[in-house]
């Protein structure tokens, strides 16, 4: 028998468990450990609440979770309740699938003013992450600036633009639904430090902006290279740029406007006790495609700034870490003897949910090769249970999660978003022990 611990129950964690199961069949026992009492990480707390079709991938992970040789161990924080060296002594292999839930700081003067928010916090707030329930973003202002030209920036701009009606069928949490319904924001500036050809947005997500009930996206054709240059782009990017070009011809005849500002590098945030404006420097591209400041600055009046410039994996004591890349130091997923990394903890925060699947299969193969001489002398889950019990840890099982999920479903009201539990105590209470 091989005993494997997977830390993190998001996509990378469950794809790894699935791969181990496929490779080893009944000869493996996998414990998927998560600090939250609820599974699926990014799917529950990161993917936008109005993207239910993407969230539906959790049904695939559920199949893995319900199999006999995989178990969910929720409400267990590695580094507090159990250490990585302890897990290595209990399991033949330990896989870090902890994702990248921390914000990369924008690091410009004024970024500590109230009203400057990182995307992890903002996305966590509208998705019911217990750590960000009290964020209370200042939505009483006329304009917001969203920094970054990736899909997270698009998610944030779209969520700020939607009407309550457009959230029906979503699982946005009640506090965010109510606050957004009363939002005074009418202008959303989407700032990219490079140009339309350098965006990191995907066409489907960009296309959605063109169909909002009460918001219009706007671009300025002066920011674009000659149209014939679009032919040089790969097809997906070309489609995205086509959407951006279409947005130059829109009429701002709805309640809200999403203004794309390209070649705009944030240099300073100003305000008297709270954000009032963002100072931006115009850029140009150098011959390597990097944004270089031109020295010309202008100001973007805004009362809230959401910085969507990428994420970091939280370090774990004793595990080698690459500060500049915000991920664990690893060589093709191997950190050290018996210790592996997958997903964003391995590669950094890039790619779609499906990009994590090959990582899981690759790491399973590596574990098979590393354990070819045997394995199976470790205690695995029996040892973990003993240790957690001695420390008074309240372990949450998958069956518990099913009760929590059923209790959440029972709270659903017709014509309103589904209501998730936010506080950890509420989740623990809903499992009814």
Q: Does 196 bind ligand NAP (CB under 6 A)?
A: no
- The stretches of 196-302 forming alpha helices (DSSP H) are 203-208, 235-246
The 11-40 contact track toward ligand NAP, x by CB under 6 A, reads ------------------------------
Q: Does 52 bind ligand NAP (CB under 6 A)?
A: no
Q: Which of 74, 349, 380, 417 binds ligand NAP (CB under 6 A)?
A: 349
Listed in sequence order, the residues at least 6 apart from 69 whose beta carbon sits closer than 8 Å to its beta carbon are 21, 26, 28, 29, 30
Q: Distance from first CA to last CA of the chain, Å, rounded? A: 32
CA–CA dist 159, 171 (Å, integer):
12
What residues from 276 to 305 belong to the interface with ligand NAP (CB under 6 A)? 291
Q: Which of 52, 67, 294, 350 binds ligand NAP (CB under 6 A)?
A: 350
Q: Which of 166, 205, 246, 394 binds ligand NAP (CB under 6 A)?
A: 205
Q: Does 194 bind ligand NAP (CB under 6 A)?
A: yes
- What value, to the nearest 5°, has the Cα angle with vertex 180 and ends 215 and 405? 115
Partner residues linked to 305 by β-bridges: 116, 145
Applying CB under 6 A, the site for ligand NAP has a residue count of: 25
> Given the complex with ligand NAP, which of 6 and 280 has the nearer CB atom?
280
- What value, to the nearest 5°, has the Cα angle with vertex 412 and ends 411 and 416? 135
Shortest reach from residue 55's CB to ligand NAP, in Å: 11
Q: Does 111 bind ligand NAP (CB under 6 A)?
A: no
Near ligand NAP by CB under 6 A, which window of 70-78, 195-203, 387-395, 419-427?
195-203
CA–CA dist 260, 241 (Å, integer):
12
Task: Let me know: does 311 contact 104? Beta carbons within 8 Å.
Answer: yes
**Which position has the token pair 């178990």?**
71
Near ligand NAP by CB under 6 A, which window of 197-205, 222-230, 314-322, 391-399?
197-205
What residues from 303 to 322 belong to the interface with ligand NAP (CB under 6 A)? 308-311
Q: Does 148 bind ligand NAP (CB under 6 A)?
A: yes
Exposure string of 2-20, with b = 16+ CB inside 10 Å and e = fewer, is: bbbbbbbbbbbbbbbbbbb
Shortest reach from residue 234's CB to ligand NAP, in Å: 15
Shortest reach from residue 343's CB to ligand NAP, in Å: 11
Shortest reach from residue 88's CB to ligand NAP, in Å: 30
The 357-396 contact track toward ligand NAP, x by CB under 6 A, reads ----------------------------------------
Q: Does 146 bind ligand NAP (CB under 6 A)?
A: no
Q: Does 198 bind ligand NAP (CB under 6 A)?
A: yes
Exposure string of 268-304, with b = 16+ CB inside 10 Å and e = fewer, is: ebebeeebbbbbbbbbeeeeeeebeeeeeeeebebbb
Q: Tokens at residue 195, please?
A: 């140009």
CA–CA dist 363, 28 (Å, integer):
14
> Given the complex with ligand NAP, which of 42 and 430 has the nearer CB atom?
42
Q: Does 330 bind ligand NAP (CB under 6 A)?
A: no
Q: Which of 34, 50, 103, 155 binds ligand NAP (CB under 6 A)?
A: 155
Q: Which of 52, 67, 294, 352 binds ligand NAP (CB under 6 A)?
A: 352
Q: Does 151 bind ligand NAP (CB under 6 A)?
A: yes
Task: Let me know: does 157 contact 190? Beta carbons within 8 Å.
Answer: yes
CA–CA dist 3, 331 (Å, integer):
22
Q: Does 170 bind ligand NAP (CB under 6 A)?
A: no
Question: In 286-364, where do the E strands start and end?
Answer: 291-301, 304-307, 311-312, 321-322, 327-328, 334-336, 339-341
CA–CA dist 380, 31 (Å, integer):
8
> Given the complex with ligand NAP, which of 33 and 280 has the nearer CB atom?
280
> Given the complex with ligand NAP, which of 49 and 74 has the nearer CB atom?
49
Binding site for ligand NAP (CB under 6 A): 147-153, 155, 192-194, 198, 200, 202, 205, 266, 291, 308-311, 349-352
């Amino acid at each position: 028998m091989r005993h494997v611990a997977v830390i993190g129950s998001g996509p990378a964690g469950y794809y790894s468990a699935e791969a181990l199961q496929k490779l080893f069949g009944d000869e493996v026992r996998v414990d998927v450990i998560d600090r939250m009492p609820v599974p699926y990480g990014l799917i529950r707390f990161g993917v936008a609440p109005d993207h239910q079709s993407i969230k539906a991938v959790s049904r695939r992970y559920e199949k893995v979770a319900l199999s006999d040789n995989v178990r969910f161990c929720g409400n267990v924080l590695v580094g507090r309740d159990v250490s990585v060296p302890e897990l290595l002594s209990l399991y033949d292999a330990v896989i870090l699938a902890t994702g990248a839930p921390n914000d990369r700081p924008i690091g410009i003067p004024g970024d500590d003013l109230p009203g400057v928010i990182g995307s992890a916090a903002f996305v966590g707030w509208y998705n019911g992450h217990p750590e960000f329930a009290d964020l209370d973003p200042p939505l009483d202002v006329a304009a917001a600036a969203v920094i970054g030209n990736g899909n997270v920036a698009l998610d944030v701009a779209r969520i700020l633009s939607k009407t309550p009606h457009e959230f029906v069928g979503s699982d946005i949490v009640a506090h965010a639904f109510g606050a957004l319904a009363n939002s005074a924001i009418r202008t959303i500036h989407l700032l990219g430090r490079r140009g339309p050809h350098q965006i990191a947005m995907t066409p489907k997500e960009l296309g959605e902006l063109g169909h909002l009930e009460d918001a219009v996206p706007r671009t300025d054709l002066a920011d674009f290279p000659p149209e014939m240059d679009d032919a040089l782009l790969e097809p997906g990017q070309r489609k995205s740029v086509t959407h951006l070009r279409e947005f130059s011809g829109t009429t701002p005849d709805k309640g809200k406007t999403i203004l794309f500002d390209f070649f705009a590098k944030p240099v300073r945030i100003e305000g008297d006790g709270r954000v009032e404006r963002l100072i931006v420097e115009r850029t140009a591209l150098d011959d390597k495609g990097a944004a270089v400041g031109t020295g010309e600055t202008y100001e973007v009046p805004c009362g809230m700034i959401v910085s969507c410039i990428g994420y970091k994996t939280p370090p774990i004591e004793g595990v080698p870490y690459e500060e500049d890349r915000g991920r664990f130091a690893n060589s093709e997923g191997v950190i050290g003897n018996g210790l592996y990394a997958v997903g964003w903890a391995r590669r950094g925060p890039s790619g779609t949910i499906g990009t994590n699947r090959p990582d899981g299969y690759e790491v399973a193969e590596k574990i098979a090769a590393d354990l070819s001489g045997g394995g199976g002398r470790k205690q695995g889950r029996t040892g973990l249970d003993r240790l957690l019990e001695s420390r008074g840890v309240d372990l949450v099982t998958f069956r518990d999660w099913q009760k929590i999920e059923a209790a959440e479903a029972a709270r659903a009201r017709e014509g309103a978003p589904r209501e998730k539990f936010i506080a950890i105590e509420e989740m623990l209470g809903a499992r009814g022990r």
